[in-house]
Structure formats: C-alpha cells, structure tokens
Chains A and B, each alone.
Chain A
Amino acid sequence: GAVVSQHPSWVICKSGTSVKIECRSLDFQATTMFWYRQFPKQSLMLMATSNEGSKATYEQGVEKDKFLINHASLTLSTLTVTSAHPEDSSFYICSAPNRQGPYNEQFFGPGTRLTVL
C-alpha cells in the first residue's frame, strides 16, 4: 500500500509555543490530505482538509487561526498548532487518498503525539 509519513512522531512543548507537524506522501502525489485529531479511547475526528494550491477547509468548531495548514507541495502538508495550550494535547494523524489506486483508499500516517505542558 501507499506510504504516508509524519514528523515528528511525538513532541512536548511549553504552553504558548507553536508546533509544526509535517505529513508526507512518500510514493504518490496527494493534492488533498486530511488532518484528524484523536483523544484517548475515542475515534478520529476530522479537523480539516488540506488542498494543494488553495486554502484548507476546516470542520465546524475548529479554529483556523489556531490550526494553520499549508499544503506546500503535492507530497507535503503541514499543520501548525499556534500558541498551544494543554487542551491541545492530543494525537494528530494525517491521511491522503491515493488517486492512482483503483479505489481512492486513504492511507494514514503513523500519527504525532503532542503534549503541551
């Protein structure tokens, strides 16, 4: 299957700092990527859709000024958590659909564990 990577895999930061998370599609191009957040023992919650060449679209209740998304190229999307606070601590996962495949399956990155102190 297609491979999606994320970096870093975990990060600990102080309250008020900004954190950038990278999501890369390694062996296919992705004009669209998705960013999810997952709290302990809960399912994935879609935060936003990252679109190459245009602005990201955010789900209801997600602050676009706090969670900045940049789809820099056909293989890279970044999520920046600005002025992070402890309530932003979560597991952030990206995904990308492989349009070259027959079924547009979405492949997920390994996730980034963010802990804000």
Chain B
Amino acid sequence: EDQVTQSPEALRLQEGESSSLNCSYTVSGLRGLFWYRQDPGKGPEFLFTLYSAGEEKEKERLKATLTKKESFLHITAPKPEDSATYLCAGYSGAGSYQLTFGKGTKLSVIP
C-alpha cells in the first residue's frame, strides 16, 4: 500500500529561522512527488513537482529536493506569510491520476 509520511506535524519558526520539512514515501513506481501549500479554509495551492532522485526546484524562499526515499522542503529565512500547512503527495501513475497525500506539516512563522 502506498504511503506518504510527513514530519514534523507542526513547526514553529522565528522569522528568518531556516528549516526543512520532511516527506518520506513508499509509493510503488513513483512517477511524481508533489508539494502543495494550503491556507486555512482554502484549497491546496500547487508548489512543485519532482520526478527523479537528485532533482531540485526553487521558488522564492522554498526549495524542494527528492531522494529515492524522501523529499525535503527547505524554507530559507521564512516570513510570517509563509505560515500555512504544507502537503506532500505521491503519484504512481498506475492507470490513474490519484495522489497519495501525507497529513501535512503546519508551519507557523512568528514575527
């Protein structure tokens, strides 16, 4: 059974304090690893797709990396507006477009 596990469940950072969120996965034949940001009361917002081990993608203060077993979302010098829940999802591409989601990491950045 495909599984995606995110850690920590919650993370509080001071503004400017860099850190990383972890997403470990056991998805058979992983075709893609997705990162989303979700604000309270809103749908997830697409951030990144990673396809192969060693791949990295960046967007502003965020950088996502992928290994054969896990992915990291690095947040450099975060700001309060980066506060949100970050979701990781695996895609096996096995005949459907279904994503297997982790439970998310709730990030709070304190001014």
Contacts and interface: CB of A to CB of B under 8 A. Distances in A.
Interface of A: 1, 4, 6, 32, 34, 42-44, 46, 49, 91, 93, 95, 97, 103-111, 113
A33 to B, nearest CB: 9
A46 B97 CA distance: 12
B98 A34 contact: yes
Main DSSP-derived SS at the A contact region:
strand
Contact of A44 (B49, B87, B97): B87
8 contacts: A1-B46, A32-B97, A43-B87, A43-B101, A93-B43, A93-B44, A95-B43, A113-B41
B24 to A, nearest CB: 15
A111 B46 contact: no
Given A103-B32, A104-B91, A110 B49 contact: no
Contacts of A93: 43-44
Which interface residue of A1, A4, A42, A44 has the most chain B CB atoms within 10 A? A44
Give the contact-size bracket for chain B: 20 to 34
Contacts of A46: 98-99
Of the candidates B93, B98, B102, the one having the most CB atoms from chain A within 10 angstroms of its own CB is: B98
Given A44-B44, A105-B34, 20 more contacts: A6-B43, A34-B99, A42-B103, A43-B103, A46-B98, A49-B96, A49-B98, A91-B41, A93-B44, A95-B44, A103-B49, A103-B51, A104-B93, A106-B34, A106-B46, A106-B97, A107-B46, A108-B43, A108-B46, A111-B43
Nearest to B50: A103
Contacts of A106: 34, 46, 97, 99
